[in-house]
A and B are shown apart, each in its own frame.
Chain A
């Protein structure tokens, strides 16, 4: 079941939302409504469902309503209409005390400008969420220390926030969000205020943490590269509405409309697409066949290499058409002409890193999983055409 389900969630800033609704129904744009009614459509009838453990990225340019949307999820901003079901419970209907309990236990938040309390030490910042729940001092200190260790800040407990660098401050922010072990973490442009290099480190660390934590993370960003790097799914917003929801590949390869297309056209695909996106199905043969069968298969398919696997599809090696023909004449078996040191890569290697391997290999590079099972192969042309941006869909289909 979805951990968060949002149904037709809307926020209108203004005193006559009913009028705005009817204008929206008539197809008026956000700009026109703002001009004629002095009311702002913050979020416009957004619906989506997020699965537990997912990193769901909400992306959009400034003014697209993404920061408003994330604040509707924990009601830092009151929705005008719609539902936010968290673990099946509509939080829009909760009273102040029930809402407080949800914020304390279930859903926490990391902020763009860190929002650390300047008068409290790092440790006191991290323990804040537990302190207001009345957790005993010993216990909350222990938890806060553990969480600080988790984000790599052990030993800095007694510093004040402004004595730390931006990256470290946001680690404190992250620790503060994680200390009460919430199911859901809202991250509002959490890394946007950091230098590009630090930002990348933080993204990596978040992904690493996520491997063990398995939180549901809703990550707001205006940076497409960031969205593609960390998102399991991405919701693209424009003028308060969601334009498209999909996996990074879907967004890149099947943009829903011209807006999304324009948004993604400048993406550096070499940093987004991986080996699994461009690999094609490998033609295989098992060891118990002879060179004659191998050659016949290659002739039928019009290829010059055949990948040899065992019964569980573990890769053993490659035979070439040339060697097979020679083996038929000299009566050799398949394993005598087998080339065992075939170049291999794992499926999540980025295209940018594939260049060298693919261009120096004489035969197509094999893609194998962590148990050496053959998933597919990468032919030289596929990498280049994927990067030119026109064969993404072909690669998608061939999987």
Chain B
């Protein structure tokens, strides 16, 4: 039996073309917002002298974490500065923070919605599976088509790749609030919003923060891929080193990513613990 090939690829391309012609202004708007956020952040981070910035991050690390984290931040960031990747690392930080911010902005409400409605959860879950397992490179092409080259498609790709844990763990965290507590909140006459803000979100907070932490880590893992479509930053240094087979440079730039990852990871993790001890 000769079944003709199902033209999924063609459909996707015609959808892409349709969107490009019909939703152009929307994409321009998105591009403007994201682009100016990333650039604004990057400019702000690079506005301060690197040593002052290092001191600032060290203080934040000490305040949120412990002495060890502060010490690591100081040494790690100084190393990055010393190797000459400071400016690019700050650009990467801006990209990662923007992508994470967007993920939180959309992921947390979507996760809340999933937790309140089984149908929504059943629809969203396979979409999230799809987003996380589809090779990330595939997102680059439509992202470029809609937003052209640069940092914006990089952010979009990072969001698509990084948002699922925030949605999943927000949903999970709220669903795991013990049923008798929810019942008590209902029995005293809470509105759904009061229940959410006074009970569910505070109790789910550690789980939601774990999701946000994962999202930040995944966004960071996208920086090299994003650099393939023109996103600047330390990811681009890695990418260039790889294409030019410069092991030493690649390792140095990679080290900058690692330092950034560890600092972001520990800070977000400790944020939860600090709140718990509160």
Query: Which residues of A187-223 are within 8 A (CB) of B?
Result: none
Binary contact track B166-204/A, C-beta < 8 Å → 1, others 0: 000000000000101101111111110010001100110
Kindly state the separation between the CA atoms of A101 and B188 in the bound complex, as whole angstroms: 9
> What are the residues of chain B within 8 A of A317 when measuring CB–CB?
none
Of the candidates A102, A115, A131, the one whose C-beta lies within 8 Å of that of B184 is A115
Q: Which of B184, B189, B199 contacts A104 (CB 8 A)?
A: B189
Q: Given A119-B202, A119-B203, A128-B198, A103–B181 Cβ distance below 8 Å? A: no
- A-B pair count, CB < 8 Å, reads 57
Q: Which of A103, A112, A116, A118 contacts B188 (CB 8 A)?
A: A103
- Asked if A258 is at the interface of the complex by the 8 Å CB criterion, the answer is no
Q: Which residues on A sit within 8 Å (CB–CB) of B183?
A: 76, 111, 115
B184: chain A residues at CB < 8 Å are 109, 111, 115-117
Contact A128 B188 (CB under 8 A): yes
Q: CA of A115 to CA of B181 in the docked complex: distance in angstroms? A: 5
- Residues of B near A108 (CB, < 8 A) are 187-188
Which label, helix, strand, loop or mixed, suits the secondary structure of the B interface? helix
Q: Which residue of B lies closest to A104 (CB)?
A: B189
Assess whether B189 is in contact with A133, with CB atoms less than 8 Å apart. yes
| Contact yes or no, A111 B180, CB < 8 A | yes
* Residue from B180, B189, B199 whose CB has the most chain A CB atoms within 10 Å: B189
A132 in contact with B187 given A113-B180, A117-B181, A117-B199 (CB within 8 Å): no
The answer, yes or no, to whether A74 is at the interface (CB within 8 Å) is yes
Please give, as numbers and ranges, the residues of chain B lying within 8 Å of A109 by CB-CB distance: 184, 187-188
Contacts of B203 in A (CB 8 A): 117-119
Given A76-B187, A101-B189, 11 further pairs, Cβ under 8 A: A104-B189, A115-B181, A116-B184, A117-B185, A117-B199, A117-B203, A118-B181, A128-B188, A129-B188, A132-B189, A180-B188
Which of B188, B190, B203 has most chain A Cβ within 10 Å?
B188
User: Is there contact, CB below 8 Å, between B188 and A132?
Assistant: yes
Closest to B199 in A: A117
10 examples of A-B residue contacts, CB within 8 angstroms: A104-B188, A104-B189, A112-B180, A115-B180, A115-B183, A116-B184, A117-B198, A117-B199, A118-B181, A176-B188
Min CB distance A30 to B, Å, is 24
User: Shortest beta-carbon distance, A106 to chain B, in Å?
Assistant: 10
Decide yes or no: A132 and B198 within 8 Å by CB, A100-B191, A108-B187, A109-B187 being known contacts: yes
Contact (Cβ within 8 A) B180 A100: no
In the complex the two chains form, what is the Cα distance from A103 to B185 in whole Å? 10
Q: State in angstroms the CA–CA spacing of A108 and B185 once bound together.
A: 11
User: In the complex, A180→B190 CA distance in Å?
Assistant: 14
Does A74 lie within 8 Å of B181, measured CB to CB? no
> How far does the alpha carbon of A328 sit from the alpha carbon of B202 in the complex, in Å?
88
Which chain A residues (65-110) contact chain B, with CB distance < 8 Å? 74, 76, 100-104, 108-109
Q: Roughly how many angstroms separate A129 CA and B178 CA in the complex, as a whole number?
A: 19
Q: Knowing A113-B180, A117-B181, say if A129 contacts B186 (CB, 8 Å).
A: no
Asked if B180 and A129 sit within 8 Å, CB to CB, the answer is no
